[in-house]
Amino acid sequence: MDKDRLALIKVYFDLGLKHKEIVCILEERHGYNISIRQLIRILHVHGFYRYKNPTDVMTVAEFIMHEQRFSGTMHGYRWMYYKLKCRGIRARKEEVRLLMRVLDPNNVDLRQSHRLHRRMYLSKGPNYIWHMDSYDKLRPYGICINGCIDGFSRKMIWLNAYCTSSNPRVIGGYYLEAVKDFGGCPLIIRADRGTENGYVCEFQRLFRRHGTDSFCGDRSFMYGRSTNNQRIESWWGFLRKECVEFWLSLFDQIKAEGNFDGGYLDKNLVRFCFLGMIQDELDLVAEVWDSHVIRPSKNLMVPSGIPNVMFSVPELYDSENYMCLIDEEEFQLCQTNALYRDGMASDEDVYNLCIYIMAEQSLHMAKDAYEALDLYLELRQHINDIL
């Protein structure tokens, strides 16, 4: 059997695609023409089953307990199930639900379902419109989040945490990184009127100035109120529920105990101890979101399915990719005006001082949120003693 074909089948099977979808993609994208019956036979011969050979229940329980040392305490069982799936751990949803009931009964009882009533929304296909915005719930603690989502597939284009979300050159850097990764720019970008979006506006309009469609040039970047930018605004509510609420509670506790005063030093210490960990969590949230199944909604104009699949294979949804190619020289010109994140989000002096104290006191970088909290308190005490 063709090894390339088998590898493709495994990739699409692991993504959770249905048999019909796998057959369609193999034919449309890769030129392999097989029937659904033949596909099922291939899967069985090579031991690809969705529900057979489940992971040992203790492994599942250990993963859940580990996640509960981070923002996993905020997850419902469906989200935890998809998180397990992304890590290659096979478990049934009912098994995950029961384990979470046993391992975290208090939070299961506290969690309630909140339904969001959305306006009717239409996006013609992937890269037809990107929605971008900043999320400032952690900003009082020195951590600023900025994100962008594809309107059609709901795939996350970027989700970044840094020391600022108000510098237009930094936000411009996020945009250019995405343009480079995806090989082009969207037809339209929608954002609010904040000054932080100024460079993205100029870059997008530069790339699209020679377009021939009705949204070329200045119309390729649309300003509007945040309340009307519903794709990304509704996603922030999801992010808070699944991730940010945990960090807010942790930082509020630090503040309530008198160990955070909102000053320059404390914000830099929070970035030093927590920023990398928070970015890792954001990356995981985006990964799980992009691979989970979005259920059908009352809006029949909005497709349902897996964001990665809707974004990559729009033909399955009777749509097309609206990605716009860009000029390489124009891209290089834009890069000279953008600012990219480096590994030092804290003030350089504070960063070097923390590294020095850690070496002197034999301290190590934290592996979870509570170790990071201990490190923060230790560094804060040593620096205040020096000052």
Per-run averaged pLDDT (10 residues), the chain, 387 residues: 80 80 87 88 82 80 84 81 81 85 78 48 86 95 96 96 94 97 96 92 95 92 78 91 94 96 96 96 95 81 87 91 94 94 87 94 92 96 89
Judging by DSSP bridges, how do beta strands 188-191 and 156-162 pair with one another? Answer: unpaired
- Determine whether 183 is exposed, middle or buried from the number of CB atoms within 10 Å of its CB (0-12, 13-18, 19+): exposed
Q: Considering Cα of 171, then 192, then 147, then 307, what sign does the dihedral take?
A: negative
CB 136 within 8 A of CB 165: yes
Judging by DSSP bridges, how do beta strands 129-135 and 221-223 pair with one another? Answer: unpaired
**Predicted local distance difference test score (pLDDT) of residue 121:** 60
Closest to 71 in 3D by CA, of 274, 259, 365: 274
**Predicted local distance difference test score (pLDDT) of residue 117:** 40
**What tokens appear for 223 in the block?**
């300003």
| CA gap 224, 240 in Å, rounded | 23
Helices (H) and strands (E) in the chain, counts: 17, 5
Closest to 239 in 3D by CA, of 285, 283, 275: 285
**Predicted local distance difference test score (pLDDT) of residue 364:** 92
**Predicted local distance difference test score (pLDDT) of residue 265:** 96
CB 174 within 8 A of CB 164: no
For 266-308, what is the HEC assignment? HHHHHHHHHHHHHHHHHHHHHHHHHHCCECCCCCCCCCCECHH
**Predicted local distance difference test score (pLDDT) of residue 5:** 86
Distances from the Cα of 269 to the Cαs of 6, 349, 353, 367, in angstroms?
A: 49, 11, 10, 16
| Count of beta carbons in the 10 Å neighbourhood of residue 149 | 27
Own/partner pairs, 340-346, CB within 8 angstroms, 24+ separation: 340/170, 340/173, 340/177, 341/160, 341/162, 341/170, 341/173, 345/162, 345/163, 345/271, 345/275, 346/163, 346/268, 346/269, 346/271, 346/272, 346/275
* Buried b / exposed e along 67-100 (16+ C-beta atoms within 10 A): bbebbbbbbbbebbbbbbbbeebbbeeebbeebb
Residues contacting 146, CB < 8 A, separation 6+: 132, 133, 134, 135, 158, 159, 160, 162, 165, 171, 174, 196
**Predicted local distance difference test score (pLDDT) of residue 227:** 62
**Predicted local distance difference test score (pLDDT) of residue 118:** 45
Residue 190: strand, helix, or coil: strand
| CA gap 351, 270 in Å, rounded | 11
**Predicted local distance difference test score (pLDDT) of residue 309:** 92
pTM for this entry: 0.76
